[in-house]
Structure formats: structure tokens, C-alpha cells
Amino acid sequence: MTESSSRSHDHRGDILFVFAVAAAGYVAWLVRDVLILLYVSALFAVVFTPIVRATGRLRVGRWQPLKGKAVLFLLLAVLGAFTAFGYFTIPPVLHDLDQLSRQAPAKVPEWMGKLQRVPFIDRLDDDEVVDKLQGYAGQAATYTLLSVKNWAGKLADVISGVVLMLYFILEGDQAYHWFLSFFPQPRRARLRSTLDRAAVRMGKWLLGQASLMLILGTASTITFVLLHLRYAYALGVLTGLLNIVPVLGVTVSLVLAASVALIDSWQHALGVVIFFGVYLQVENSYLIPRIMKSRVDLPALAVLVSLLLGFSLAGIVGGLVSVPTAVLVAVLIEEYLVQKDA
């Protein structure tokens, strides 16, 4: 084979490689939602696998009651917790909504009188106010229907993610060894050691996040009970659970709790706002540096950048996995890119 034909063959191979990469990138973009779901499920499987293994090693004397059943036990425990939460939370809410619908005809004149005392509203006649309220009600109903449809799709994604996570936990070792088999033996050992270190740090992130959720859930429940809020215990539990989503979870909890408090009085709503304001200051200045940084070993700037990137790329799901992803990237960078002094 002449030198010119060899160069021509190399050029053709390079062109085919570029087209193959472009085609693979295009296909990945088309199925990006599925890839994100797979990645999130695999990531949480890595985080929860040590917990499952530790649960399976629990002993009663010489008997290991949960050996081989740890995944099923954890799944049933989570489902039982959510069922109990719905059982104690939904009936009071439905009762209050029923009471509101019954009292609405008698309350309408009172509400209209309050509206007339609002600046600039008193210049509108009653018919115009009613028409505007009906228009807002129609828009709210339409938005609610669309939201229900969107949340139904999100719920299906959550269920699919949980199922995939369980499969990754049960069969993750096989997939992990299959992935490592693509690398030569010397590089394989180094990559395995690096990924194991990343898994340990991501597990520490879960413990730190669980600590923050427990602290906020406990503090908010006590505050809501002292303020005599409706559904104080349910709101406290929900506030703690939503704290798993950085930044956005606290914001949603604040809006929800303040809205419920506003039903009774603006003083209660102000108390809720003051509580969240004080807690955020304590969390950002004291809790996160001592709990998260000591466990995850990431600078605050890296955490902030990862949150911004996660929310911008994949919304709530991206924000949820942004910090453990940053941990994984940081470990890989430290191992393969950072030049260490001899």
C-alpha cells in the first residue's frame, strides 16, 4: 500500500468517525429524557446500595432476617411511610375544602366588601369585579388541569426511576463490571478505585442531606405547632422532605406554609416567613459548612455552580442530582487531571 493510499484511508476513517460521533450525539439528544432518567436512577442506586447492604447484614442473634430481602423491605417501608402520610393528611384537607365550598355562598358578600376596600378596586362596579374574578377562576381551573396532566407525567417518571433504581441495586455489580471491561486491565484497576472513592463521598452526601432534611423538618414542625397552623405536622414533614431539592425545596415549602397560614391571619404568615428567613441564615452560615462541606469536601462555589448547571439543564431533577454529580466529577478531575506534586 502506497503512502498516498494510506493517507487517503486515514482520512476516510477520520471522516467516518466524525459522522459516527455526530450520529451518536444526535440519537442521544433525541432520547435525552431517557438517558437522564437512567443516569439519575444509576446515581441513586450507587448512593443507596451501601444502605441496602447494611440493612441486609442486620442480625438477630445468628439470624439475618433481611438477608436477600433488604431491597423489598426498604421499598415497603417507603411505601408505608407515604401511605401513612396520605392517610393522616388528605382527609383534613378534603374536609376543609368541603367546608369552604359550603360556606362560600355566605362568604362571598364579605369577600366582596373586603375587595371594595382595596385601593383602585373600589372604582370598579360589582359586575366588573365579578367578571374579572370569573375570568381568573377560569384561568386557574385551566392551569390546574394542565398542572395535573404534567404532574401525572412526572409521577410516571418517578415510578419508572424507582423501578430502574431497584434493578440497578440488584444487578448493578454486573453492569459495573461490564462497563469496566471496556478498559485495559491497568487502567481498569485505577478507574475502579477512583469510582469507589466517588461512591463513598456520594454516600456521605446522602447522610449530610438527610441530616439537613431532619433538622429542617423538626424545626419547622415545632414552629408550625407553636403558630397553631393548620396541618402543622403534615407541613413539617413535607418541608423536611422537600429539602432534598436544594434551594427550590425550601422556596416551595415557604410558599405553601405561608399560604396555609394566611388563611387564618397575616400574623401567622409573617411568623412563617420570619422562621424561614432565620433558618436559611443558620443553614447557609453554619449547618451547610459543617455538615455538607466536611462530608462532601466541595467548595461552596462548586456547589453553587453545580446547582445552577443542574437546574438549567434538567430542572428539578438536575438540581436534585447536581451535588452528587459534582462529587463524581471532582473525584475524576482530582485523579486524572490534577497534577500532584511528587
Determine the pLDDT at residue 84.
81
129 part of a folded domain: no
Average pLDDT over residues 188-197: 88
Digit-coded pLDDT (tens) for 114-170: 555 555 555 555 555 555 555 555 555 455 555 555 656 666 777 888 888 888 888
- Whether residue 222 has pLDDT greater than 90: yes
Rg for the chain (alpha carbons), in Å? 27
- Whether residue 18 has pLDDT greater than 70: yes
Determine the pLDDT at residue 278.
92
218 part of a folded domain: yes
Is pTM beyond 0.85? Reply is no
Is the pLDDT higher at 180 or at 70? 180
Q: Look up the domain containing 268 and give its range.
A: 183-342
Determine the pLDDT at residue 226.
92
The DSSP bridge partners found for residue 60 are 63
How many domains, in total, are found in the chain?
A: 1
Kindly state the cell numbers that stand for 230: 393548620
Determine the pLDDT at residue 46.
83
Is the pLDDT higher at 272 or at 4? 272
Q: What percent of the chain has pLDDT over 90?
A: 7
- Whether residue 83 has pLDDT greater than 80: yes
251 part of a folded domain: yes
205 part of a folded domain: yes
Q: Choose among 293, 259, 294: nearest CA to 273.
A: 259
Using alpha carbons, list the distances in angstroms from residue 328 to 164, 166, 209, 304.
20, 21, 16, 16
275 part of a folded domain: yes
Determine the pLDDT at residue 219.
93
Gap between the Cα atoms of 137 and 143, Å rounded:
10
Determine the pLDDT at residue 30.
85
12 part of a folded domain: no
Determine the pLDDT at residue 223.
93
Are 249 and 217 within 8 A, CB to CB? no
Gap between the Cα atoms of 82 and 327, Å rounded:
30
276 part of a folded domain: yes
240 part of a folded domain: yes
